[in-house]
Every structure is written in C-alpha cells, then in structure tokens.
C-alpha cells in the first residue's frame, strides 16, 4: 500500500524509517505547504517498507511518499 501526498509542498520532517511498525493514524511525515505543516498519517496499521522521499524534497499532489506492507 502506498501513501500519497495530498498537497504540493516540501518534505519538512520524516517521522518513520523502513522496518518500523505503525498504527492507523500515526504520523509518517510532515509536508510544509504555504507555511502550514501538514501531517501525513498512516491509513492503516502495517510496517514501513520504504520511504520514497527525503527531507527537503519537493513533492506534488498525488505523489507516493511511503510504502506500507
């Protein structure tokens, strides 16, 4: 399962790393857009398989950010 960005912005913080278990609603990363910090949450419980972006990367609406297994 991939988690996608809902806004265009910059990756401000990454809160997880591959191999980490997460619960539904846990913050995976934070995207900054228009001076607002927008948390990206896990849609379901699982394990982080991959983080597809790095801190300070520019991301587009709909871009995959994290892969959960």
pLDDT per residue over 13-24, tens digit each? 999 999 999 999
**Burial (0-12, 13-18, 19+ Cβ within 10 Å), 31:** buried
Residues 30-45: tens digit of each pLDDT: 999 999 999 999 999 9
Neighbours of 3 (CB within 10 A): 22
Q: What is the pTM of this model?
A: 0.92
| pLDDT for 25 | 98
Give the model's confidence band at 3: pLDDT under 50 very low, under 70 low, under 90 confident, else very high.
Answer: very high
Up-side HSE of residue 61: CA atoms within 13 Å toward CB?
A: 4
| pLDDT for 48 | 98
Q: What CATH number has the domain spanning 2-68?
A: 2.40.50.100
């Amino acid at each position: 399962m991939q988690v996608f960005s809902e806004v265009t912005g910059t990756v401000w913080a990454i809160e997880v790393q591959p191999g980490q278990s997460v619960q539904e609603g846990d913050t995976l990363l934070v995207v900054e857009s228009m001076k607002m910090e927008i948390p990206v949450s896990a849609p379901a419980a699982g394990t982080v398989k991959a983080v597809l972006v790095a801190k300070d990367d520019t991301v587009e609406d709909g871009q995959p950010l994290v892969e959960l297994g």
